[in-house]
Amino acid sequence: MDILTLSKWKEYYNDHPHRSGLHLRFEKGVDPEVKRSIQECVAWMRQKYVFPKRIRLYIKSARRIKAKNGEWVCGTFFRPADRNVEPYIRLATGDYLELLIELGKDDALASILHALFHELTHYFQWLNDLDLTLIGEERQATVYANKLLREYAQTREHP
């Protein structure tokens, strides 16, 4: 079972009008190199995968985002209980310059893209109504983020 191509979502969205797609919103202050990298990555995702329920990606210039549980994290996925409500992802990219110094450009950008892929996996888990424990969801999201990053890396010389 590949959750990125699973079509269990058709039970919910085939007969009901709704918006679809993957949409980006960049906050002022996001590094231009990060913005370029995310835009290219999202273009690749749009070609490769179906986003039957609209998902918005809010790319923040902050170092971290406060999750609902109070924890400071790199990314969050809003999973609405009502399937008529659109989900969204918030992704913090404000630590890019620190990562750039510590890891170099390619690895710094790859780190941000990994976080994006992790949160997009949560979207596909929600979309297909997977029944996983919280630990299972996080493990699966990490596995798929690694898989997607490897796949994406094969399509270009630099992130």
- CATH number of the domain that residue 46 is part of: 3.40.390
Q: How many angstroms separate the CA atoms of 146 and 159, rounded?
A: 14
- Locate 109 and state its tokens: 């950008």
The secondary structure element, H or E, covering residue 72 is strand 72-73
The mean pLDDT of the chain is 91
Q: How many angstroms separate the CA atoms of 144 and 120, rounded?
A: 9
Please name the residues in contact with 28: beta carbons below 8 A apart, sequence gap of 6 or more. 61
Domain count, the chain: 1
Q: Which domain holds residue 107?
A: 17-153
Percentage of the chain with pLDDT > 90?
71
pLDDT tens readout for residues 83-131? 889 999 999 999 999 999 999 999 999 999 999 999 999 999 999 889 8
What's at 145, amino acid-wise?
A
Mean pLDDT of 14-42: 91
For residue 45, being part of any structural domain is answered with: yes
Please name the residues in contact with 118: beta carbons below 8 A apart, sequence gap of 6 or more. 75, 141, 142, 144, 145
For residue 95, being part of any structural domain is answered with: yes
Q: What is the pLDDT of residue 62?
A: 95
Q: What is the pLDDT of residue 15?
A: 67
For residue 24, being part of any structural domain is answered with: yes
Q: What is the pLDDT of residue 26?
A: 97
Lowest mean pLDDT among 39-48, 78-87, 119-128: 78-87
